[in-house]
């Protein structure tokens, strides 16, 4: 029996790794990317490529779309002269592996049927984990759709690219809801890692010691570990494009404005990312945001603040706690099960110890506005205020941490943000 034919549209950091993982698993893989240099690099290793999206789709039983934006996905799938629907075989499956607004994804099956291809089924399948996990086939996948039989048929493909698979109930768009909520942690935790690193640098601290202290404490997160390690050794530890997370956080902020949802910490992270992007600071990855906080020549500039690694951990814990509160409130908007969300976050890029602690210490109850009220958050906010006071004396900017402190205060007082 010949291997299943799988086509991959998009050979970026994630798509490239997906294609390699599928080949390693024994699938008959063809790939395409609009970037000719990337396509040639892939082809030079002896792997098969296509000359266009139409050629890529021709003969593909499974077509994986892993491009950067929703607009690109629409062109890849629906363009009447160059899109995949024109040449996909009867009964094919499209796996949409992008981060997009849930209300965009939920209507795609109807659009496909309106195109005259009611034989083609689309699966909503956003991913998380980054370049290294894409290369090793260990991504976290959230997937949903309207056809249970198609979901089951596609499982072998999904297991070739991911080790943590979460079937999300609710039909097309449900997986994107979970990914949308999860991305708050990604955007906030990236900026938090950078802001805390810059603070530690300006306070004359040993960044490696700070990193070790944080990762052994309650403020540990996957992205703090990864991004600080990247800042210390960019050649060995990859990061992600500033453009991608800026796009994701921009979508979240826009959605929340439209639906009157208050997420102050997430929106501050969005604005800081936008500032870095607007000033063309994208030096290849999202840690470029560190330019907001001065330069390496500022090392030791605020040593008199007398900060310790433990102080950095408390501020970081406050940021993660604020983000956790906002994630839970956003999840309530989509009616996402908290146990499912906790399980997804633990194995995805947004993983952090604070979220588990917040869910455990503040179980959901009928009085939602009072959920987080109490002495625990008030005590954390008081610690943050003391540390931020010492930092503020030296005019060092702490925009994300300052907003997070307010979120923790309001939640601890039983008030909405």
Residues 255, 261: Cα–Cα separation, whole Å: 8
Q: Any idea what the CATH number is for the domain that residue 407 is in?
A: 1.10.1040.10
Instruction: Work out the pLDDT band at 369, boundaries 50, 70, 90.
Output: low
417 inside domain: no
Q: What is the mean pLDDT of residues 101-105?
A: 97
- Domain match, 90 and 185 both: no
Residue-level pLDDT at 30: 97
Residue with the bigger pLDDT between 173 and 281: it is 173
Residue-level pLDDT at 372: 77
pLDDT at 281 over 80: no
Residues 69, 76: Cα–Cα separation, whole Å: 11
Give the end of a domain, one of 123, 143, 172. Answer: 172
Residue-level pLDDT at 365: 60
pLDDT at 254 over 50: yes
Question: Mind listing the pLDDT tens digit for each residue in 335-358?
Answer: 999 999 999 999 999 999 999 999
Residue-level pLDDT at 407: 96
- Domain match, 185 and 206 both: yes
| Cβ atoms of 63 and 92 closer than 8 Å | yes
Q: Any idea what the CATH number is for the domain that residue 44 is in?
A: 3.40.50.720
Residue-level pLDDT at 384: 97
Percent of the chain with pLDDT strictly greater than 70? 97
Give me the domain span that covers residue 231.
Answer: 177-412
CA distances from 214 to 116, 221, 288, 345 (A): 55, 9, 21, 19
Residues 193, 183: Cα–Cα separation, whole Å: 15
What is the rounded average pLDDT for all residues in the chain? 93
Residue-level pLDDT at 366: 42
Residue-level pLDDT at 370: 66
- Domain match, 139 and 244 both: no
Residue-level pLDDT at 361: 84
Q: How many distinct structural domains can be found in the chain? A: 2
Question: Mind listing the pLDDT tens digit for each residue in 186-197?
Answer: 999 999 999 999
Instruction: Work out the pLDDT band at 398, boundaries 50, 70, 90.
Output: very high
- Domain match, 92 and 188 both: no
- Domain match, 140 and 184 both: no
Q: What is the mean pLDDT of residues 139-158?
A: 90
Residues 90, 360: Cα–Cα separation, whole Å: 48
Residue-level pLDDT at 322: 97
- Domain match, 144 and 258 both: no
- Domain match, 146 and 203 both: no
Give the end of a domain, one of 124, 144, 172. Answer: 172
| Cβ atoms of 76 and 94 closer than 8 Å | no
- Give the global pTM: 0.94
pLDDT at 417 over 80: no
Residue-level pLDDT at 367: 55
- Domain match, 84 and 150 both: yes
pLDDT at 282 over 70: no
146 inside domain: yes
Question: Mind listing the pLDDT tens digit for each residue in 220-250?
Answer: 999 999 999 999 998 888 888 899 999 999 9
Question: Mind listing the pLDDT tens digit for each residue in 2-38?
Answer: 789 999 999 999 999 999 999 999 999 999 999 999 9
């Amino acid at each position: 029996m010949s291997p299943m034919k799988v086509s991959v549209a998009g050979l970026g950091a994630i798509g490239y790794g997906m294609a390699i993982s599928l080949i390693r698993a024994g699938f008959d893989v063809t790939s395409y990317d609009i970037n000719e240099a990337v396509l040639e690099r892939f082809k030079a290793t002896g792997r098969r490529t296509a000359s266009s999206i139409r050629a890529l789709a021709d003969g593909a039983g499974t077509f994986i779309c892993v491009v950067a934006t929703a607009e690109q996905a629409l062109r890849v799938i629906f363009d009447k002269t160059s899109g995949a629907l024109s040449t996909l075989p009867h009964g094919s499956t499209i796996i949409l592996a992008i981060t997009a607004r849930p209300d965009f994804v939920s209507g795609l099956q109807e659009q496909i049927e309106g195109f005259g291809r009611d034989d083609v089924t689309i699966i909503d399948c956003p991913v998380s984990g980054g370049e290294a996990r894409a290369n090793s086939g260990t991504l976290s996948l959230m997937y949903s759709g309207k056809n249970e039989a198609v979901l089951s048929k596609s499982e072998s493909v999904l297991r070739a690219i991911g080790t943590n698979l979460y079937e999300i109930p609710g039909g097309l768009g449900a997986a994107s809801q979970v990914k949308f909520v999860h991305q708050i942690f990604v955007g906030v935790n990236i900026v938090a890692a950078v802001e805390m690193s810059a603070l530690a640098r300006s306070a004359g601290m040993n960044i490696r010691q700070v990193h070790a202290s944080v990762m052994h404490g309650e403020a540990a997160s996957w992205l703090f570990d990864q991004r600080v390690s990247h800042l210390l050794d960019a050649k060995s530890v990859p990061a992600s494009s500033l453009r991608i997370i800026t796009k994701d956080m921009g979508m979240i902020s826009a959605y929340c404005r439209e639906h009157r949802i208050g997420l102050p910490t997430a929106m501050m992270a969005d604005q800081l990312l936008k500032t870095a992007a607007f000033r063309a600071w994208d030096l290849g990855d999202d840690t470029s945001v560190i330019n907001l906080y001065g330069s390496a020549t500022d090392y030791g500039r605020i040593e008199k603040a007398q900060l310790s690694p433990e102080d950095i951990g408390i501020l970081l814990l406050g940021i993660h706690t604020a983000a956790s509160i906002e994630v839970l409130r956003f999840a309530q908007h989509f009616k996402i099960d908290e146990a499912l969300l906790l399980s997804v976050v633990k194995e995805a890029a947004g993983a952090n110890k604070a979220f588990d602690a917040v869910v455990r210490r503040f179980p959901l109850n009928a009085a939602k506005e009072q959920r987080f009220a109490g002495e625990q958050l008030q005590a954390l906010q008081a610690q943050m205020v003391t540390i931020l006071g010492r930092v503020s004396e030296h005019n060092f900017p702490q925009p994300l941490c300052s907003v997070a402190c307010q979120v923790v205060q309001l939640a601890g007082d039983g008030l909405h943000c």
